[in-house]
Amino acid sequence: MTTMYTPDHEWINIEDHEAATVGITQHAQDALGDVVFVDLPEVGRSFKKGEVAGVVESVKAAADIYMPVAGEIVEVNEALRADPSLANSDPLGEGWFFKVHVTNMAEFDQLMDAPAYDLLVKKG
């Protein structure tokens, strides 16, 4: 498994643990509706697991983006900042939020895999 999920509906792909990619799930973008604004963290800033690292806002609501794991931000998606609707059209691809240097792999392993996350979404 290289992609894991949080109960707060973020995903993290760890193919490169020095620059693991974080975004919001299909379910999250669907629940939010049309995304009109993203607040992305500063590159170089470190966060603990569970800290608020960003904000995603749709027409109707604002939601926090929580750090799936501890780490330092190494890159943010400037294309998403310029066109927040990428979070709707391609949440698992072009609509990624930021990349993080993961320091503690154990935190990653504790997250949900795809079947576990799908079950969480189905249970509502």
| Residue 90 contacts other proteins per CB under 8 A | no
Distance CA 91, CA 93 (A): 6
Distance CA 8, CA 16 (A): 22
What residues contact 52, with CB distance under 8 A and at least 6 apart? 64, 65, 66, 67
Total number of residues that touch other proteins (CB under 8 A) = 12
Q: Which of these segments, 10-18, 55-63, 95-103, 106-114, binds other proteins (CB under 8 A)? A: 55-63
Distance CA 68, CA 91 (A): 16
Candidates 19, 55, 92, 120; binder of other proteins (CB under 8 A) is 55
Q: How far is the CB of 113 from other proteins (least distance, A)?
A: 27
Site mask, other proteins, residues 13-52, x = CB under 8 A?
A: --------------------xx-xx-x-------------
| Residue 121 contacts other proteins per CB under 8 A | no
| Residue 79 contacts other proteins per CB under 8 A | no
State the alpha helices, DSSP H only, in the chain.
26-32, 78-82, 86-89, 105-109, 114-123
In the complex, the residues that contact other proteins under the rule CB under 8 A are 33-34, 36-37, 39, 55, 57-60, 62, 88
